[in-house]
Each structure stands twice: as C-alpha cells, then as structure tokens.
Structure 1
Amino acid sequence: MPSSKRKRDDPSNESLSFELGPSPSTGSIGPILVSFPALQAPKDTPFKCYGRKKAKKEKDDDGEKYDRTLVVGEAPAVEFISNEEESKRAADAGCRYLLAVRDPRTSKIKILPTAKTPFILTRTVKALKSVAPDDAPSGLAYREARTALGETFGTKKAKAAIRAQERNRVDVGAMQGVMQHVVEGIDEKAEGLLSKEEAKDLADSARLVPPFSATATDPADIYPLNDIIPDPEFKALNIAPIEENLKDNGMLPWKYCQWVNNHLRRMGQEEEKSKGRKRKIKILLYIATMFLFRRTINHPKGLEKDTVYEKMNNVPPIIVDGLLSRFTETTRGSSLHKFTSAMTTKFMAYLLALCLRVDDFASNPKILAEDLSMSVTNINAAYRSLGCKLKTLPERERASRGLSDSLSDTKFAVLVAPVQFPTARKGKRT
C-alpha cells in the first residue's frame, strides 16, 4: 500500500545530460589542475596564477597572449610554488585532463577544458627559510663516517681491510713540521741529476758507433774517416797489387766479399780515373780486411794474438793490432781475444759506416747481408743505429748513381744530415 509520508525526489529517476563548456576566453585563467607530491595543502589555502605576456611572435596558433607558467599558494606555515621542469615532464607524458561539474538543479554535467599542462607543486617551510643549508660533507668526514659504520657493522674481512687502510694512511699533520726539510733534501739531491740535454749527450756517447758530429750538415762529415780508420793504419795499406789487377782485368782475391769485388770491378771498367780513386780503393781494401778479420776472430773461445797474425799473414801487423784493440775483449788473467756481442755491434757499425762512404751514403742492405751471412732485418737494424733511414730511391737519383731500374722497389739505407738516432720504444708493442 502506498505510504502516506512524503518522499524525496529519487535522483536515479532524473535524466542526466552532458554539456561541453566554453574554452577560456583570451586573457582569462580558466580551471587549472595541480598536484601535491607527498603533502596535501589545507583546503583554505589561496592560490594565484601568474603569467608573463608573450611577444607577438610568440603567440600560439589560437592567438593566446599569455603563457601561464607559475602557480603560487601560501598557507600559514608552508608556501607552494609550481616547478616548471617537473610540470613540463608531466605534460610530455601525453595526458590531457578535463573537469566535470554537475549542477544538481538542472542535472547537467558540464565538461570544462583545463590548462594544457598540470602543475606539479613543491613546498617550502617558512620557518626553515632563514636557516642556511648545511655544507656537503668533506671527503675526510665521509671517510670517517664510513669507517665507523664498517667497524661497527662490517664483517671480519671488511674490518681487516679498514685496519690495513688505516695503517697505510699517511698522517699529513705529522708531516707538516718536516715537509720543508724534505723539500730541501730533494732539491739538494736533484742538483746532481742530469738535464735532458746532458742525458741525451751521455746516451749518445755510450752508443757503439764511430765518433760522430751531431751538428754536421753534410753526410760526409757525420762520421770522419780518420776516426774510423786511424791514419797510421790507412797509410800502411798497399793498393799496388789491386791497381795492377784492375789494369789487367785480373781476378780479385776476396771470394767471400762480393760487395767489395763489385765495387772494384766497376772501378776497373771506368775509362777515366775519377778523383779520389786511390782513396776509395784503400777504403775498399780496409773493408775487405775487416771481412777477413771477422771470419778469423769469430771463435767461441777466443784466439791468441799470434794465431790471428798467422791467419792474417798478408795484413800489416799495425792493422791487425788496431782491429784487435778496437773490436775484441780479453778477460783478466787470459790472453785470448774474444769477439763479444757488444764488440760485434761496434764492429758492424764501423764496417757499415765505411760502406756508406763508398756507396755515397746510400747502401743496398741485401748485398751486404749475403756477404755477412746475416738477415736483412739485422742489417737494417744496424743501419738504423747509425742514423740511416730506409727508403726507396727516386728514378733521377738512381740514374745519377748508375743503378738499374730493377732496384726501384729496393729500400736503401740513406744517411741523412744532421744525424738523428732512433729513440727507445716505450711500453709493449700493440
């Protein structure tokens, strides 16, 4: 039966309708959405929106003149202000927000477009604004705090590592009193150290090469001849038999030195005697003597001087004595002359320096490698120790030296002035 009491109107029986609200007019603020991370503002907190006026060229497509960039609210204890960077990050998420407002009298829900971006607010406590922020902890304070935590809560292994680190740490405060004495001691000891130029001169003087001139601008002046062949030995060389053989086109006596034979044979084929011909023949004779000396003295146990004289009976004794004194070593209490590795390096430097002079300071390493029964790599290394550069000769230079075109790809050892010695490599080869 129907009740006699008056009932309220049932809202479920009312029909709802939606209506799209108008866009904010030019210059108006319109509804704004804000977010309060980790803190909720009181309901009675007043908020204001501030904007800067855009220039004409900055107007949006819809003709908007104002750029709403700042939302500010103030409560009795806290201030709120929008964070532009965080708000832009939220806008870049791609979400667009709308507000729906229901009117209970008309049962209409009005959809209101909001601002383009939600505003993310940050807070500032008023009571803390006058307090200066603490400085970042120093490295020492951080290290002390970390050590205290490790000693309190660390494992046995961590505590042992902390104690080892403390033992190895230098007490700077204790060093302040003696620092000046340490610096003075270093300066006093450093006075005896060599400078860069002095160290270079000392290293050059220890090189197993003939005496050289580092400032010479002509390759002929880098290694003077009288420093390689002493004058008494040079005068003792007898070239009359060689000149006779060259005159009669006879056989040359050095079967183990084709490099010398090729040069002598080429000199015998020349119609006119060139200037300095006898001097060059003497140098070639001395080179052949050095070849013979190398074959004679290259004995693992060494040789007596009389044995060397016997095997080199056709060589003047003054030359044999000079070769023995410069390129062999004797141990204490022994008369055996040994051809050690250091003496071998020195001997090769003197020999190749003479070969460069005969070849007009551009030698072919391959021919000498065959005569010396050595690899081309070792011969090239010996040439580099003299300051030579390995390179191919251009066509014009080959023609001036009388070399065939078949040697266009052959690398010659060329002595360049002023001389530059190779530097020691640092680190491992990659």
Structure 2
Amino acid sequence: MGKRKHSETEDKSSKFTSIVSANIPERTESPILATFPGTQPSSETTFTPFKRNYETSAAKADERVVIGETDKVLFTGSNFGEDSPRGLHCKYYLGVYSKKNQQVTVTPARVLSMRRSVKALTNANNEAINNKSFKLQRANLGMAFGTAKAIKQLRDEERNKVDAEEMLDELSDVQRQVGVNTVNLPSQASLREQVKSSLPLPSFDINADSPENAYDLNSVVTPDELNSIDVKELLKEDSLEGVQNLLPFSRSNFINTKIMQIINSTGKKDRHRLRLLVYLSYLMAYHSRVRRGDLANRERLLSALNNPPAIIVQGLTDRFTENSHRTPIMADKILFYIMVLTLMLSDFKVFPEAIARDLSLKASKAQTLLRNLGCKMEKATAEEANIAGVDPKANLKKAVLVVPLTFPELSKGGKAK
C-alpha cells in the first residue's frame, strides 16, 4: 500500500511538457527553413541570408533572400515574390526540447523554397540572349532600309530560323559545349557520375550488401507520415470493393492484392506494411489523378487524393513539385519513388508489365525506370507468371534488384559505318 500511495501522490504536472517562446534580442536573425526540390546541396555548402539595409514596412522587413553556391551550381531562394513557397496555410516554428525542464522553447521560422541553376548553362544562355538581341536589331534595320533583295533574304532567314532553334534545343548540354571548348569535355567516368547524381532517386547505398539496405525508406516516406495513416477502417473490411472505396487510388491490382493478403491473413496484422501500401496508393493517385491545375488549388488536390492527412500533402508537395509546378524531372521522380516502394513490398522482384498496367505506362518505360534503379531483367517462370495473374506463355519479364547497385552505362554512340 505504501508504494501505491507514493505513486498516487506523485506530481501529475511532471507528465506534461510546457511550451514557451524564446526570448531573442530584437536584432538577432530568426532561423530559416528551406526546401530543396530535386537536387540536394552537399553539407559543406554555405548559405548566406540577405535583408534590406534600410528602414521599411514590417512586411518588407521580414523578407529574406538566401544564396549559396558550389563550383558548378548556384542556389537561390526567397520568402517573397514569385519564388516564394506557395500554399502555406500555417506558421512554422523551430523548437528545442529540454529534458531536464520538460520544456520546449520555440521561435518563429521563415520558410522559403530554393531553386538551383547550373552556372555554365546560365552563362551560355546570357551569351545566346545577347547574340539574339543583336541579330534582331540588325534584322529590323534591314527590313526598314534594305533593298528588296535584302528584305527577301531576311524573310527567308526568318522562315528557316524556327527549325534550327528547335534542333538546338534538343541537343544535350554536353553536345552544346563541343563547338565552344572541346578541351573541357568531361570523361566517360565523369559523365557516368553526373548521370547517377542527376537522377531523382531516393537516398541509396551503392555498396549495399543486401537489397534491403540499398535504398533508404526514410528518404521515400518519413515515419511521421506513415504514422499519420489510419488503417483501422481498412482492417474492418472483408471485401475488395470495400477496400477500394477507402483507397485514394483504387485500380492498382498490385496494391489491392497485397492489402487483401494482409486482411485475410491469420494472427496479428502487419500494420506497418499496410501503411506502406496506402502511402503507395497516395503516390499512384498523385501521379495519375492530380493534374497540373490541381497542384496550386488545395481543395482540388485534397479531393483528388481522397482527403489525406495534412502531413502527407505537405510531403508530396515538398518532394515532387517546384513552386507548385510539376517539372519533367519531378514527374520522373514520382515514378522512381513508386518503383522503389513497389520493390520493397515485393521482396525486390517486380513485374514491369503489371506495374505499367496499374499506372497506364508502356512496359518499356517501366523497365527503363527499374534498370535505372539497379534492377536486372530476367525471364519469369510459369509459376511466377501465374502468381502475377498473367498468361504463362506471354514471355513475362521480372525486374530483380541486384547489389551492389550498378546503373546503366552511357551509350558510346552508334556503330561505325
């Protein structure tokens, strides 16, 4: 009884954590939270914030520009103007937890989205703009004061200029540099490293000793995002139709089959695996159902994703958009993350044709994505084809993740004629 009495008289307030505002001097800079859609800078990159050096309104006094650079890339970001983050519906704070005092000290934080630009391309574009401006002035002068023959020649050049520009736009960055300075062309080994670093893949360990350690799940989806997914209603369902009604993307045969296997299994249900499957359903819905105009409209975005938790929406926005826009790189990034999760959920062996069918892609596209993740294509057995629900005579291929990771080699050009 003595021990019980002691626990009853224990101070109940010690169970709660208090939150207080930090006492920061007026001229001290508050912290800045920045997102980096696409390529992440190295940890050695230094970033410098800039503010107005004169008295102004309170709103403009809060505006900041942050700049950081490496030898090849310039990162810029701001919390105002066209480059400011979109769709912020709350204020952000940074907090420090004191275990001794059971207290969290918080301070407001500015939020901005960083954009990157390659220095070599920026210089080349500036030169191109200057050349184009000079040519335009020359053409205007010729059209105003030139002879009939000169005017005809200028019009012919104008008609032919479009095709030349379109062809130039299709050239790769490396090819555009060949005529400028061939001595600066990178080696094949350097190009391979650039290709690997430019692919929008989740964090990976190229020297992993097992497929389970090849890709970092936390770089695909955080534990907080997974824990926000409520699977209680799913576990109550016993029919495929009921499961489909609860999913944001209901027509994935891969997801539906895996979820029904968990529901129909005996014993304790694997809730972690079930949450991963639901998050994969969010990714597929984000790829297939969310249109360009939905990204900047929160109501339409929530409707397309079947009203997910706010942390899921924020995570998708941070990972797969640049200023509320889905660039071609971001579109491929979504597919890479879908393929990685699919591999994790199927013992690192998947059927590209089956996944391509779920996403309305060509099978060749799915195979290319999986090869770029380090998979090798192998012929599936008749038993594996039956499990996948396809005709065993269809010569089905399976993608198998192989470690240590190897990525496709760069093409060395066509055969000599």
TM-score between both structures, scaled by the size of structure 2: 0.49
Higher RCO structure, 1 or 2 (CA under 8 Å, sep 6+): 2
TM-score between both structures, scaled by the size of structure 1: 0.48
Q: Which is helix-richer, 1 or 2?
A: 2
Larger Rg: 1
